[in-house]
């Protein structure tokens, strides 16, 4: 055994799983690649999958849509034609506070109302039954024959059974109900434009009703505003009369009290006593100020030399006398130098000096006396004014109590007068507002009799029916696909089973997949007999997906290939994938794990010899088997086959044995990849048992034959076992004119057919 391992390692063909933990005698094998708990390797595009479902059932969907369109078209034929008239109104914002009318009118619109709320209110008013009744009465709809009072279809039965008939509905009430059902009002977007729509079998009646409704709405709005203004004016007039009476009474009471109290009123400033007291107070203030000034001058004159007084210094006469005195003194000095004091000229000058000094002394005394007299006069005047002020203050204090009552009466009279004047102004403004008939509603486009009926719109009905039929057909198709569909197209496995799709194998007999070898010759060996061919290329593409299915660069070494039910082509997948692996210089072992119906030996023309069943049943250690005892060589270089051997009754127990794990452990050392062909897994447990000792399982689905329920059941069982599902392969797909058209090129049809394997005996040696 050690020699065989050394030989395998020396030849450069060591298993990629040589680093994995594996113990002989144990069925626990470390699975490389993607674990069941890890995210799936691929997610299908849901939108494209739905589109494929729709395209696959396009004729069914189209048929349902056409039937719905026809039903909608036929349903509109017996309907009575209806004509729709339209008129447009512009509703502008109204000044509810015109002439400040809101101050006295409690029904004025609130200032915080939004324009949208105002427009919606007008729309609601346009649909009120009261307005519709006005229009119906004006157009005399109640006289139309269809609104005449009828006893009903069961009138004869009521008369026979003597049952009181129900209350007959008046024609006008019928007309209003009929018109309300056919009237629609809407706002044109974010504007102030309101559209009034009315439907009627008579186009002229439809136009007349829409126009009359607009005119009556304008008139009703004006009437409501006029009536509100009239009511406000009447109420203001009554209030004005009451205020006038109150004003007259308050003024009469004020005058009577003033006469009784002896109050003399001077306009709006107060009574005479208060006015006199105010004047005396002002005069007293002036007297006191004058007395203080006089007293200051007097005290200054009494305590200062006379010559220093401002009055003395500023007097022109005093300055002239002082100048004369100085001149005489100068003359006296000059004469004294020449003459004696007894000289007459000297005496004459001295006499003049004495006279002038006497005059100056007298004038100084007069100035001081005048200042004193002025001070004494100001003092006496102050005392007199103070006495008069004290007397007048006593008088005013006596009239204070009477003045308080007078002020109250006067304030009441003034308030009544102000209210009266304000109310008089409001009465005049309300009269002006009620006289103005201005409307905030303008007719933009009057209604005209329509020339075409509004409904039934047969093309629109057919279009809506067709659209609804398309939707119904798509839902029907998707429901059918989900309810009982099969795996048909590439991507279905990823969409419905939620497993990665590793590859798609086209049908060998599909158009464009024919080569020189014939459409269906040896499909199990297509990779060897058809080089090149689209079938072989599909296996190579699938092999690339399998090799890339590992994680961190590690590739699965032991792979179990199975299917939910028989006939899916799993054996074909094993043989062709094995040949594809051998093409890339890898040692590949194919194990025929279907011990009940083995086929690998027949396909490769192997002789009958002990196989897997005998190896598992024998007691000889696995290490003691020679390489040619465990596998048969084939014509394909690098490809070896371990056949199933003779049939056995204890197949499940053989697969459960520890020898199976030991056998795979040795195969990992000597081969790069081991592919195990196992029986269908829904009926037999073999695939699940083999999956536990392998690196992963690949499911094979046959297009248009494997159901979604079978695929889901197989995938779910493997996940429940904790077995890694590497992915799924869609087999026997009919490409049609789609991607398969590529394979119709001369390159494929000129492909060389390889020689068939030797089936005469000895197998592939």
DSSP one-letter string for 268-334: TTEEHHHHHHHHHHHHHHHHHHHHHHHHHHHHHHHHS-GGGSHHHHH-HHHHHHHHHHHHHHHHHHH
Burial class of residue 633 in the structure, from the number of CB atoms within 10 Å of its CB (0-12 exposed, 13-18 middle, 19+ buried): middle
Q: Helix %, strand %, coil % for the chain, to 5?
A: 60, 10, 30
Amino acid 179: pLDDT: 87
| CATH class for the region spanning 2-17+28-33+491-500+555-738 | alpha beta
Residue entry with tokens 């479902």: 53
* Average pLDDT taken over every residue of the chain: 76
**Structure tokens that stand for 59 in this block:** 């004729």
Nearest alpha-carbon partner for 232 in 98, 418, 94, 131 = 98
Rounded Cα distance, 149 and 417, in Å: 65
> Which residue numbers in the chain have pLDDT < 70?
1-46, 49, 93-113, 146-159, 162-168, 257-259, 261-274, 301-315, 392, 395-407, 430-438, 481-484, 509-522, 550-553, 647-652, 736-765
Classify 591 in phi/psi space as left (phi over 0), alpha (psi -120 to 50) or beta: beta
Amino acid 762: pLDDT: 30
Cβ atoms within 10 A of the Cβ of 32, count?
Answer: 23
Amino acid 613: pLDDT: 86
Q: Whole-model pTM?
A: 0.45
Rounded Cα distance, 152 and 664, in Å: 93
The answer to whether the CB of 705 falls within 8 A of the CB of 570 is no
Which tens digit of pLDDT belongs to each residue from 518-552?
Answer: 444 468 888 887 777 788 889 999 998 888 876 56
Nearest alpha-carbon partner for 484 in 25, 192, 57 = 57
Nearest alpha-carbon partner for 603 in 517, 690, 524, 511 = 524
The answer to whether the CB of 565 falls within 8 A of the CB of 706 is yes
The answer to whether the CB of 694 falls within 8 A of the CB of 558 is yes
Amino acid 711: pLDDT: 92
Cα separations (Å) of 24 from 283, 505, 556, 617, 660?
Answer: 137, 37, 19, 17, 10
Nearest alpha-carbon partner for 734 in 441, 487, 510 = 510
SS3 621: coil
Rounded Cα distance, 23 and 29, in Å: 8
To 10 degrees, what angle do helices 203-261 and 344-435 make?
140
Domain ranges for the chain, please list them: 2-17+28-33+491-500+555-738, 64-234+440-445, 270-435
Residue entry with tokens 């196989």: 611
Amino acid 37: pLDDT: 37
Amino acid 1: pLDDT: 38
Amino acid 731: pLDDT: 93
* Topology of the domain comprising 64-234+440-445: Bacterial polysaccharide co-polymerase-like (3.30.1890)
HSE-CB at 161 with a 13 A cutoff on CA atoms is 7
């Amino acid at each position: 055994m050690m020699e065989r391992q050394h030989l395998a390692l020396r030849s450069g063909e060591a298993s990629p799983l040589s680093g994995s933990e594996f113990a002989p005698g144990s069925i626990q094998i470390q699975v490389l690649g993607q674990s069941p708990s890890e995210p799936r390797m691929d997610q299908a595009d849901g939108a494209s999958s739905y589109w494929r479902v729709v395209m696959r059932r396009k004729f069914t969907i189209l048929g349902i849509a056409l039937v719905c369109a026809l039903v909608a078209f036929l349903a509109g034929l017996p309907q009575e034609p209806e004509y729709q008239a339209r008129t447009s109104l512009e509703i502008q914002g109204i000044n509810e506070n015109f002439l400040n009318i809101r101050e006295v009118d409690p029904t004025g619109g609130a200032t915080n109302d939004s324009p949208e709320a105002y427009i919606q209110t007008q729309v609601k008013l346009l649909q009120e039954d009261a307005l519709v009744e006005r229009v119906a009465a004006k157009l005399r709809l109640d006289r139309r024959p269809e609104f005449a009072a009828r006893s009903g279809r069961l009138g004869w039965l009521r008369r026979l059974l003597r049952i009181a008939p129900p209350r007959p509905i008046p024609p006008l009430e019928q007309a209003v109900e009929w018109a309300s059902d056919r009237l629609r009002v809407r706002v044109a977007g974010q504007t102030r434009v309101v559209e009034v729509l009315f439907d009627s079998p008579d186009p002229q009646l439809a136009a007349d009703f829409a126009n009359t409704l607009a005119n009556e709405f304008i008139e009703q709005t004006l009437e409501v505003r006029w009536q509100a203004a009239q009511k406000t004016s009447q109420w203001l007039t009554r209030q004005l009369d009451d205020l006038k009476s109150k004003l007259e009474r308050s003024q009469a009471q004020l005058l009577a009290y003033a006469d009784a109290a002896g109050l003399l009123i001077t306009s709006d400033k107060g009574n005479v006593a208060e006015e006199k007291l105010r004047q005396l107070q002002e005069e007293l203030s002036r007297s006191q100020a004058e007395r203080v000034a006089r007293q200051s001058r007097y005290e200054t004159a009494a305590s200062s030399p006379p010559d220093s007084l401002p009055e003395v210094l500023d007097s022109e006469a005093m300055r002239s006398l002082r100048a004369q005195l100085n001149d005489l003194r100068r003359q006296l000095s000059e004469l004294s130098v020449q003459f004696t004091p007894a000289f007459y000229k000297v005496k004459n000058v001295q006499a003049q000096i004495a006279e002038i000094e006497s005059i100056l002394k007298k004038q100084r005394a007069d100035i001081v006396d005048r200042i004193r007299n002025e001070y004494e006069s100001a003092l006496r005047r102050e005392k007199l004014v103070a006495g008069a002020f004290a007397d007048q203050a006593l008088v005013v204090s006596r009239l204070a109590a009477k003045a308080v009552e007078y002020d109250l009466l006067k304030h009441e009279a003034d308030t009544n007068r102000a209210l009266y004047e304000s109310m008089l102004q409001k009465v005049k403004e309300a009269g002006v507002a009620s006289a103005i008939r201005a409307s905030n509603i303008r007719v933009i486009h009057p209604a005209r009799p329509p020339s075409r009926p509004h409904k039934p719109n047969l093309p629109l009905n057919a279009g809506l029916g067709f659209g609804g039929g398309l939707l119904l057909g798509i839902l029907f198709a998707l429901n059918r696909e989900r309810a009982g569909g099969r795996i048909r197209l590439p991507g279905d496995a990823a969409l419905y089973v939620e497993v990665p799709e590793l590859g798609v194998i086209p049908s060998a007999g599909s158009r464009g997949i024919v080569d020189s070898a014939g459409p269906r010759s040896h499909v199990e060996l297509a990779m060897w007999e058809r080089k090149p061919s689209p079938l072989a290329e599909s296996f190579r593409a699938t092999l690339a997906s399998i090799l890339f299915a590992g994680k961190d660069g590690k590739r699965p070494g032991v792979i179990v290939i199975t299917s939910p039910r028989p006939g899916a082509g799993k054996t074909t997948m094993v043989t062709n994938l094995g040949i594809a692996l051998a093409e890339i210089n890898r040692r590949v072992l194919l194990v025929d794990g279907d011990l009940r119906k083995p086929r690998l030996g027949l396909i490769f023309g192997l002789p009958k010899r002990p196989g897997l069943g005998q190896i598992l049943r024998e007691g000889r250690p696995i290490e003691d088997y020679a390489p040619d005892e465990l596998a048969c060589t084939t014509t394909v270089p690098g490809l070896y086959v371990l056949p199933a051997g003779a049939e056995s009754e204890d197949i499940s127990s053989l697969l459960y044995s520890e020898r199976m794990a030991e056998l795979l452990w040795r195969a990992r050392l000597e081969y790069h990849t081991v592919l195990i062909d196992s029986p269908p897994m829904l009926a037999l447990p073999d695939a699940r048992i083999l999956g536990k000792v392998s690196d992963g399982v690949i499911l094979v689905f046959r297009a248009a034959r494997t159901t979604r329920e079978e695929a889901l059941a197989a995938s779910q069982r493997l996940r429940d076992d904790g077995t890694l599902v590497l992915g799924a392969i869609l087999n026997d797909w009919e490409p049609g004119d789609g991607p398969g058209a590529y394979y119709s090129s001369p390159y494929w049809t000129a492909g060389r057919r390889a020689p068939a394997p030797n089936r005469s005996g000895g197998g592939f040696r």
